[in-house]
Amino acid sequence: MASPLTARIAEQHASVARTLAARLPGAARRRLAMETLARTGLPGSRDENWKYANLRPLERASFTPAALTPPAAGADAAVAAALPPRLADFMRYVFVDGVFAPLLSDAPGTGAARVTSLAARGDAADAGPAVPAPRHEPGADQRFALLNEAFATDGAAIEVTAAPEAARLELLFVASAEAQLGASYPRVELKLGPAGRLVLVERHLSAAGAASFVTSAVSAELARGAALDHYRVQELSSRAIAFDTLAATLAQEASYRLHAVGSGAAACRSTLGVRLAGEHARVALAVAALGDRTQVQDAYALIEHLAPHTRTAQTFRGISAARARVAFNGKIVVARDAHGSDSRQSLRGLLAGPEAEIDVRPQLEIYTDDVRCSHGATAGKLDDNMLFYLLSRGLERDSALRALKWAFLEDVIATIEVPELRRQVEERLAGAMQDGAALREELI
């Protein structure tokens, strides 16, 4: 039985299906995604893994894509102004409301990494699914990825082959349309061949403070021995609504490091799913989230150990100020065959406002005995002793508090190995902490 929301999505999809088909290959996949979605519906707040997310904006959202064609020359002045300074040695590709903007981007690379616009790929891509078939088990919730698949108007297809130097790419997704005019569907399909190496910066930002509705989907396949360093920065405007889904599968000895820093959007929900499918595959997840005012920052990370000797390290640091809610749900599953697996989870939340909320759920589901798994989770305020130490050394209360919060986030920020990116992220966070008056107050 379809809910009113699902019915509305189906209706809006039907109205644009023809336009999408004319522009983008993969009509069969879109239809399948839509059918599955009609059956499962979008998650609701009664779903155990969605209880901390803010799903209310969906009720009034418009799902039709905001943009079908690349922005015309000159129309992108506002977008160009929103772009951060370039990172040295990185190829840059810009997408506006989910559609590739060639005028703002570098030419498609000729080296180890090949970047193609999905729309420009032609019918050849229709031959087989570019992403693994979406999975619908309760654990790995792909429903927003299906929404993306059904409505996406463009996206980046990236293929990386082995090379002496790791390829470096920066993908910028700019949301410029107001939500009532349509949604934006950023999409990345990433394939790393055997021993392929890539440093990927994925950044989501808003042009001119637009209140956009963004649903992004990233899929990554790492072949044997591949290594992906993935930096994810979410800096959307404080009025935007964002849902993202990431699905990664790692083959033998592949290594995936994800560094995610989220400080934007009125309501953001990240759903991350990593499958360690090959022996000795390893993943390191470092997530930082900053919530202020009435923001809701929610993240769910499911890591499945499916092969022996796989490893996980998961770090979460969240600061919730004013009336914000910051939530992190990290689930680790160790399958029966995954003996010799090792997983570490450290989830910490800092409450920095009188009505702030922190929700952390470190979960372990283990089906074999030859494992080492541990997790730690805390929620609370800054340590009084540390604060006293700094005050006794003559620091102003404000700067002492800031220093401590800085140190709190350091576990995640320090993992950013691209110096300019790290500086940009730090500046943004420092700004957020300084003008977010709420972050200063109420810390005893």
Contact positions vs another protein (CB under 8 A) = 48, 336, 339, 349, 351-381, 442-444
The least CB distance from residue 374 to another protein, in Å, is: 4
The least CB distance from residue 249 to another protein, in Å, is: 23
Do 157 and 74 meet the contact criterion of CB atoms below 8 Å apart? no
**Considering beta carbons, is residue 285 or 421 the nearer one to another protein?**
285
The least CB distance from residue 318 to another protein, in Å, is: 11
Residue 245 contacts by C-beta under 8 Å, 6 or more apart in sequence? 141, 142, 144, 145, 148, 216, 217, 218, 270, 271, 272, 273
Do 232 and 264 meet the contact criterion of CB atoms below 8 Å apart? no
**Considering beta carbons, is residue 279 or 355 the nearer one to another protein?**
355
The least CB distance from residue 114 to another protein, in Å, is: 42
The least CB distance from residue 403 to another protein, in Å, is: 18
The least CB distance from residue 136 to another protein, in Å, is: 18
The least CB distance from residue 351 to another protein, in Å, is: 4
Do 86 and 168 meet the contact criterion of CB atoms below 8 Å apart? no
**Considering beta carbons, is residue 161 or 343 the nearer one to another protein?**
343
The least CB distance from residue 121 to another protein, in Å, is: 42
> Cα separation of 75 and 206, whole Å?
15
**Considering beta carbons, is residue 78 or 373 the nearer one to another protein?**
373
Q: Are strands 99-100 and 91-96 parallel, antiparallel or unpaired?
A: antiparallel
> Cα separation of 64 and 11, whole Å?
10
CB atoms within 10 A of CB 257: 18
**Considering beta carbons, is residue 231 or 300 the nearer one to another protein?**
300
**φ, ψ for residue 170, nearest 5 deg:** -125, 120
Among 286, 223, 220, residue whose Cα is nearest residue 247: 220
Q: What is the DSSP letter of 5?
A: H
Q: Is 369 exposed, middle or buried (0-12, 13-18, 19+ CB in 10 A)?
A: exposed
**Considering beta carbons, is residue 339 or 422 the nearer one to another protein?**
339
**Considering beta carbons, is residue 129 or 139 the nearer one to another protein?**
139
Six-digit token string for 312: 């996980």
**Considering beta carbons, is residue 39 or 372 the nearer one to another protein?**
372
Q: What is the DSSP string of 358-399?
A: EEEEEEEEE--SSEEEEEEEEEE---HHHHHHHHHTT--HHH
